[in-house]
Amino acid sequence: MPADIEVHRGTDGKYYMLDFARLWPPEVPTQGLQASFLIRKMRPELVRSFPKPLCSDAFSRFQTGEITERDENNREVVEAFIFLMKVVVPSFTRHLESTITDPLAIRNFRLTPAMHEKGNHPPFFIESLIAHSLFHFSRNQHATLGSVVGDLPE
């Protein structure tokens, strides 16, 4: 739970929680975008599918634990990003390859709803990567989507 979430007791005696904006862990920080941990969040589908719990305060000064704990929190978010790139995205492209066999059909394909249907919605830049790959795949009837996307670097 993020450090800046608030709990208040109302005049009716009930408790209310506020400031859920940072409930989900941040994406790996974006170079050149100051304080990106505050605005770029991992999708709930990715967080739920990742085998380890992730810290909402990763990469921020809100972390209060020992340096080793903070480093571990940050490292686990990086691992989740690698999981996204190495497992989730390739799995999704394999799914697309098996369901879309006509390159011309790709031109009418709705990428975002398909991602949501599978419970995955990668960050916008990965969505752009897949969309770009689909475009090139649609222009080359002999290519496989996997060959267009290519292997991710180690």
Residue 99, pLDDT > 60, answer yes
Among 11-15, 91-95, 141-145, the least confident range: 141-145
Strand partners, 6: 18
**Single pTM value for the model:** 0.69
Burial class (CB in 10 A: 0-12, 13-18, 19+), 55: buried
Residue 87, pLDDT > 70, answer yes
Q: What residues contact residue 55 under an 8 Å CB cut-off, 6+ apart?
A: 25, 63, 73, 76, 77
Q: In percent, how much of the chain has pLDDT > 90?
A: 24
Q: What residues contact residue 136 under an 8 Å CB cut-off, 6+ apart?
A: 143, 148
Among 30-34, 121-125, 147-151, the least confident range: 147-151
Q: Across residues 46-61, what is the average pLDDT?
A: 90
SS3 of the chain: helix, strand, coil, percent, to 5: 50, 5, 45
